[in-house]
Structure 1
């Protein structure tokens, strides 16, 4: 049974009624962010019930020492953790001497929480009866500014309903926080100074080991019945804490309100000794605008994002809510402003996966950012990997590779491997191929080749060198094999000849060889620079060719399919439909030993290869492999349903495609995997976008041209999306009867619909039945 307390709505995520069992899940679902920082939807006031406090700053992390039973050569020394940052949102509320705490109130009624995705704010409304029988009404609204991304704003309004009351509003900063996720319970933060100036307060702190310096700051204004009032605050400080409390006698039916501005300045962006003055500058900008003025800029910024990124769905409110939630959270996590940053699987919504970068970025996120933003955003994601190339070479050297072979980390903050599971860290090497594929995919979609001679070719050569050295020549098979790997299906470790990994290795080497030839011919200066820098020799390329021409790809003559890996057919091939539902999810019900010996597939593995390289296989081959592997797939990875939805749509299995789409789009809203309290699945949200645009819309780039094969689920009346293809904005609207294409801006575009060519001029609209 999935959770179902989130109310269906086109533009908002809404929770009605206060339930303590929903608090931690809602803290994830109602999270807010602005690309530079983010926070779980914790209450501003004190809450003594089960809660997961979380505020996070992009790029600020701690190297938590790896916890293993015994050490192995080459093992990562630490697992980087995104840090729970000092808390600036807190506002203690006291009424007639009693602290407001929803967990201990006599009654909480009319509770409503709303995340307005159209305008980018979070609100709460409730009526509460305290133990002292005072009844109050509370309204809150908060957001993290997109336009001034170091600051957030809170409006907190309280009204006594049944008597006059003495009310204290106590905004505070607290750097004495801990991580929910920690290996050794280390102290992550060291507070350096706590100070104040008038209505402003500051805590300067630094991370242990990584030495990130931050200033957490706040300033508050007080209002009675919306008129500003001057109250001299009472100050409380200790070594990690500062509060400024504002006390007022409030008549029954009057409103007492605080506007609190707060956030972080970080030494990633400012000199260490200028963090407080930088915070003062930010506060001046925000308070000059005021809460309402800053909120207006927020609405405008989100309107601009939605104008390009929105997907509309008619006739299916849950599907509409799901896709907008996914698009909203992706934009809250990463906006492409800072090439030092990337997209963590949980974004700013939790601590699992450490806030680090995985292969999810290249395999799932780049298509979304290429099509919904300027191509520079996707290019920044590619540059992130180029900037970490030396670290990738170091990672490979630690494992015994040489000559500039590069193994990009499975998990990273700064380019160094920081994952602490051997079978993932050293066996799931297919992530190298996803990084190479992203370079190819970027050029294929944007038409911008300049990145490759400038930076991309060096990355490709490092990856090709790795694959050539990682392959082993088998005399028995008279082929090159790749041993001891984990494919995308993490329910099988240390397998030999995972088809997806072998195929990807072969493709990477071939693509790199083609690219070297093109750059040498067309960009000779860049080629000479690179060849001299990395000592590229023709003899080396001949070694690569020997591997790629003779790589082993496991195949079953019986089923006429590529085998996921050697020995897959030795398993007891019981399909998921024949598995007792009480055994699901198997990752929570079975031992790891039992999972590894089973045929069950966590996510697309062989089919991931068919997704990347669809144009290299026939429709019949896709159908054969889909029919064989999908029945064994348990979809216990958030990355699984989207690939299967796209392929089911390609195969005209629209009911199955729709089911997979709904699962991926509402994975967190409906908590399919029973883990949303840990945070959201941000990177898989890009797969939801792909399910519509590439799945139902059938968008592909073939032979340097844009193609569509539009289809529509029977549950929908219509759907529409926009894509930015080579600086042309194209809108696609699909109904049950026709498809419309409209050129919003840019030069004329020739594209293909169901393989028939069309030419579209600026502001022209074409309708096809």
Structure 2
């Protein structure tokens, strides 16, 4: 049974009624972020029940020493972890000296929480009866500014209802925090200085080992019935904590409020000796604008994002809520302002996966950012990998590869591999192919070839060298094989000839050779520079070609399909439909041994290859492979339903495509995998966007043009989305009767609709199909 307490709404995530068993899940679902920092939806006031405290700063991490039972050569020394940062949102509240704590209150009524995605703020309201029988009403609103992205703002208001009362607010900064996820219970933070000046307070701290210097800051102002008042606060200061205390006697019905600005300054952007100075400067800007001014700015910033990124769905509120939640969280996580940053699978919503970069960015996220931002954002994501090329070469070297072969890490913060499960670190090498595919995908979409001679070709060469060395010549098969790998289906480890991995290897080598020739012909100066730098020779190219031309692909004549790996047909091929539902999810119910021997597929594997390289295969081949593999797929990876939705739509199986779409779009809202309390699945949310644009919209690039084969689920009345294609904005509006295109700008655009050439004129609504 999936959770269903989130109220359907087009623009908001809404929870009504207080249930302590939902607190951790809601802390994930109502998370907020602005690309530079983010936080789980922890309460501002004290909460003594089960909670997962989490505030995170983009790019700030700790190298937590690897903990394994049996060390193997090649293991990384550490697992990089995003750190739970000093907490600035805290406001302890007491009424007649009794602490407000929803876990211990006599009663909680009219509890309502809303994450307004249209305007980018989180609110909470409730009535509570404390143990001293005083009833109060609380209204709180907070947001993290998109424009002033070092600042967050909170408005917190308490009204005594049934009695006069003395109310105390204690806004605080707390650097005495720990990670939920830690190997050795290390001390992650070293507090350097706690200081205050007027109504402002600061905690300067640095991370251990990595020595990121930060300043956590706050400033507060209190109000009675909306009017600012001056109260001289008491100040409590400890080694890693500072609080101000504001008390006021109130009559029943009077409103006592506090507005608190807080946030982080990091030495990535400032001199580490001047972080307090920078904090004062940003607080000055926040104070000038005030809470309402900052909120107005926030609403406008989100309006600008939604103008380009929104997908509208008519006639299906749950589907509409799902896609907007996905788009909202993607933009809260990464906005493309800083090429030193990337996109963690959990974003700022939890600590699983360490907040690190995975192949998800290249395989799933880049298409979303290319189409909804400008191409510079996607190019920044590619440059992130180029900047880590030397580390990728080092990673390969540690595993015994030579001559500049590059193996990009499965998990990284700074380019260095920091994943320490052998079947992932050493075997899930298909990640290398996703990096190369992203370069191809970027050029295909933007037509900006300049990245390849400037930077990308060096990456492609390093990757091709890896694949050539990783392949083994089998005299038995008279082919090159790739042994001991894990494909995207992580429910098979240490297999031979994973079809997807072998296909990627061949494609990467061919693509590298193709671009070497193109750069030689058209960018000769770059070509000489790159050949000199890499010492690439004609004989080495021939050895690459030998591997690519003679790659082995496991195939079943009986089933007329490529096999996921050599031994797949040796398994007991019982489909998911015949699996006892009480055994699901198998990753939580079965031993790993049992999973590895089963035929069950965690996520698209062969079908991931058919998604990437669909032009290499016929629709009939796709259908045959879809029918063979999907019945064994348990979709226990967040990255699985979106690919299957796209493939099902291509096969005109719209009911199945819709079911997969709903699963990917509401994966967290409905908690399909029973793990939302750990955080959200941010990177797969880009796949949700793809399932509408590429699945139902059928968007592809053909002959360097946009191409659409629009389809619509029967559950919808219509849907629309915008695409930024080579700096031209195209709006697509699909209904059951027709598809309309609207082009912004001054130039016309050629595109294919159901393989028919159409010319769309700007500033007209063009009805292309009926």
- Shared topology, TM-score over 0.5? yes
1:35-74 residue pairs with structure 2 within 5 A? 35-74=35-74
Given the alignment of the two structures, is residue 21 of structure 1 paired with residue 21 of structure 2, yes or no?
yes
Deviations 1:305-336 (A, max 9, x none): 00000000000000000000000000000000
Question: Could you list the runs of 5+ residues in structure 1 that have no partner in the other structure?
Answer: none
Aligned residues: 769
Counterpart in 1 of 2:450? 450
Cα drift, residue 702 of structure 1: 1.4
1:247-286 residue pairs with structure 2 within 5 A? 247-286=247-286
Checking the alignment, whether the CA contact within 8 Å between 1:728 and 1:746 is kept in structure 2 is no
Cα drift, residue 746 of structure 1: 5.1
Give the distance between the partners of 1:233 and 1:507, measured in 2 at CA: 66
Counterpart in 2 of 1:215? 215
Checking the alignment, whether the CA contact within 8 Å between 1:112 and 1:124 is kept in structure 2 is yes
Deviations 1:270-319 (A, max 9, x none): 11101000000000000100000000000000000000000000000000
Deviations 1:554-577 (A, max 9, x none): 111111110000011011111100
Counterpart in 2 of 1:418? 418
Deviations 1:123-169 (A, max 9, x none): 00000000001110000000000000001000000100011111110
Give the distance between the partners of 1:589 and 1:179, measured in 2 at CA: 27
Counterpart in 2 of 1:763? 763
Deviations 1:422-465 (A, max 9, x none): 10111000000000000000000011101000000000000000
Given the alignment of the two structures, is residue 289 of structure 1 paired with residue 326 of structure 2, yes or no?
no
1:545-556 residue pairs with structure 2 within 5 A? 545-556=545-556
Counterpart in 2 of 1:534? 534
SS class of match (2:138): strand
SS class of match (1:740): strand
Counterpart in 2 of 1:574? 574
Give the distance between the partners of 1:421 and 1:89, measured in 2 at CA: 36
1:720-735 residue pairs with structure 2 within 5 A? 720-735=720-735
Counterpart in 2 of 1:702? 702
Give the distance between the partners of 1:600 and 1:287, measured in 2 at CA: 56
Counterpart in 1 of 2:127? 127
Give the distance between the partners of 2:279 and 2:109, measured in 1 at CA: 38
1:283-682 residue pairs with structure 2 within 5 A? 283-682=283-682
Cα drift, residue 251 of structure 1: 1.2
Given the alignment of the two structures, is residue 9 of structure 1 paired with residue 2 of structure 2, yes or no?
no
After the TM superposition, list the runs of 4 or more consecutive aligned residues in structure 1 that deviate by more than 2 angstroms: 744-747
Change (3 A) 1:576 1:746: farther
Give the distance between the partners of 1:474 and 1:382, measured in 2 at CA: 35
Give the distance between the partners of 1:705 and 1:756, measured in 2 at CA: 12
Give the distance between the partners of 1:727 and 1:318, measured in 2 at CA: 32
Given the alignment of the two structures, is residue 718 of structure 1 paired with residue 705 of structure 2, yes or no?
no
1:136-155 residue pairs with structure 2 within 5 A? 136-155=136-155
Deviations 1:343-366 (A, max 9, x none): 000000000000000000000000
Counterpart in 1 of 2:166? 166
Counterpart in 2 of 1:191? 191
Counterpart in 2 of 1:685? 685
SS class of match (2:124): strand
Give the distance between the partners of 2:513 and 2:309, measured in 1 at CA: 36
Deviations 1:45-104 (A, max 9, x none): 000000000000000000001110121111011011110000000000010010000000
Checking the alignment, whether the CA contact within 8 Å between 1:741 and 1:765 is kept in structure 2 is yes
SS class of match (1:80): strand
1:99-110 residue pairs with structure 2 within 5 A? 99-110=99-110
SS class of match (1:409): coil
Checking the alignment, whether the CA contact within 8 Å between 1:491 and 1:595 is kept in structure 2 is yes
Give the distance between the partners of 2:88 and 2:538, measured in 1 at CA: 58
SS class of match (2:274): helix
SS class of match (1:42): coil
Checking the alignment, whether the CA contact within 8 Å between 1:730 and 1:745 is kept in structure 2 is no
Checking the alignment, whether the CA contact within 8 Å between 1:386 and 1:455 is kept in structure 2 is yes
Give the distance between the partners of 1:539 and 1:276, measured in 2 at CA: 58
Give the distance between the partners of 1:336 and 1:176, measured in 2 at CA: 31
Give the distance between the partners of 1:184 and 1:510, measured in 2 at CA: 45
Checking the alignment, whether the CA contact within 8 Å between 1:729 and 1:746 is kept in structure 2 is no
Cα drift, residue 744 of structure 1: 2.2
Cα drift, residue 747 of structure 1: 2.4
Give the distance between the partners of 2:296 and 2:39, measured in 1 at CA: 21
SS class of match (1:565): coil
Give the distance between the partners of 2:746 and 2:429, measured in 1 at CA: 40
Checking the alignment, whether the CA contact within 8 Å between 1:113 and 1:125 is kept in structure 2 is yes
Give the distance between the partners of 2:582 and 2:248, measured in 1 at CA: 57
Give the distance between the partners of 1:370 and 1:421, measured in 2 at CA: 33
Give the distance between the partners of 1:280 and 1:425, measured in 2 at CA: 44
Cα drift, residue 534 of structure 1: 1.2
